[in-house]
A and B are shown apart, each in its own frame.
Chain A
Amino acid sequence: MKLKKNITSVLEIKDLRKNFGNNHVLNGFNLQLFEGENLVVMGKSGSGKSVMIKCLVGLMQADSGSIQIKGQDITILGQIELDLLRTEIGFLFQGSALYDSMTVRENLEFPLRRHKDKLNMTRRTEALVIEALENVGLAHAIDLMPSELSGGMQRRVALARALILKPKIILYDEPTTGLDPITSKEIIELMRSIQKKYGTSSLIITHDVDCARVISNRIILLVDGINYAEGTYQELSQSNDPQVKAFFKH
């Protein structure tokens, strides 16, 4: 999938650095996510993908560099402004991270309760919850507890929760990890259909090559904390570079 290039950037990372003691995880990482784009960041375990995505939403503080989301530098935002900006970002966690003391309905109501008025959402909470669950095909599970759901269903509910505030950007942290191949394909299809329906921009962190092949407009390969290679799936899969080959040639 090739993306038209005459569009604006919704998210930009410049020269991002993060160290844990002597462990240099990010060494000047750069990234630009364009409107409507599906950008995949790939890399080995421990290459800094999760650290990068956590810096993006302010769960971790970067040592240096800038992170601009919709024109606002999140590294200098106050808590209130940051919380408001976060409503424009959906985040799908690797392990779904559903609140296990709440039902599916309460999980989806949780972000709404706080931000519905600020975002001028006029529809009733119930209607918004049902719409989000219908988008992921789980309207029937509305009153179940997360522990009563399978891994794939939990991921879908987590996706519904990420979508409930109608964010413009969705961040996926290893969306298919821990799922069987069939459920993984279903999740990938769901991600594609959501992107089409809402025109969201997606940043997907994964090491699942199939996921990257199906969903990406562009791929960045993160090695030793820097952008090692960048291009479409087609371009990278034909690369002769040994590091790139190691990822794409099985």
Chain B
Amino acid sequence: MTQSLRIVERTKAFFTEIGDLSYFSGRFFKEVFTRPFEFQELLRQCYNMGNRSLLLVGVTGFILGLVFTLQSRPTLMEFGAESWMPSMVGISIVREIGPVITALICAGRIGSGIGAELGSMRVTEQIDAMEVSGTNPFKYLVVTRITATTLMLPILIIFGDAIALFGSAIIENLKGAVSYQLYFNQVFDAIKYSDIIPATVKSFFFGYAIGLVGCYKGYYCKKGTAGVGEASNSAVVYTSMLLFVIDFVAVFLADIFFEI
């Protein structure tokens, strides 16, 4: 096969995948509003995804806050602008770094988990067994997981942001003798609704993307254990790329609507 033919084939495969993913997404919206609603499974998934990711998100957020402040301090001190530290860290974390880093961590923790779980269920015929027993597996497995990631990610992001700011406050307190009250007063003075609203809205989309790609890769997993590994791996890779695309679009739109 020549190079150009290979490129054509890959391009075709890429657009086919985009089409399949869009169809999958459309099916989610069609089924999410129809009965029966799987509330119990949704709650279980929310608990699994939310509660079990708290420690990872918390630790990462805390270290992020520490490192970010430690590395920014010398530069701000050079310009005599260290008093701007709380505002700068607050805006950066709430607007951009917190949501993106938390979403990437969740893509690795939750997205790969969904891909592997549904993939192994597909390979071992558990999804077929569910269908044969008269249960709609798409509704039970896919709709609940996508809804759970969409609802849980904003909460995890807010939690991660809070811990990151706390980490930053500790460094400011130790290095710059800034009290916690003063630090957080400055942070909340600096943060506006135009920072919070776009960040919160995009975090729902981040959650949706993590659930969607993880479920899609797992649900249509190829046969065999290699297929499960591939589903899990590609769920993380595709989700990570998609998160940056969503982030770009969100920032672009926020710029238009909020003039940030």
Contact = CB atoms under 8 A, between A and B. Distances in A.
A94 B124 CA distance: 9
A110 B135 contact: yes
Report the contact-size class of chain A (Cβ under 8 Å from the partner): 20 to 34
A54 B134 CA distance: 14
A59 B132 contact: yes
Contacts, number: 51
Contacts of A38: none
Given A94-B125, A97-B126, A87 B134 contact: yes
A97 B134 contact: no
Contacts of A110: 130, 133, 135
A4 interface: no
B135 A98 contact: no
Interface string A83-106: 110110101011101111100000
B220 to A, nearest CB: 15
Which of A57, A84, A97 is the most central at the interface, judged by chain B CB atoms within 10 Å of its CB?
A97
B124 to A, nearest CB: 6
Nearest to B120: A100
Contact of A97 (B117, B124, B135, B136): B124
B76 interface: no
A115 B125 CA distance: 21
Interface string B113-136: 000010011001110111111111
Interface of A: 54, 57-59, 79, 83-84, 86-87, 89, 91, 93-95, 97-101, 110-111, 114-115, 161
16 contacts: A54-B128, A57-B132, A58-B131, A59-B132, A79-B136, A83-B136, A91-B129, A91-B132, A97-B125, A98-B126, A98-B129, A100-B126, A101-B117, A111-B133, A111-B135, A114-B134
Interface of B: 36, 117, 120-121, 124-126, 128-136
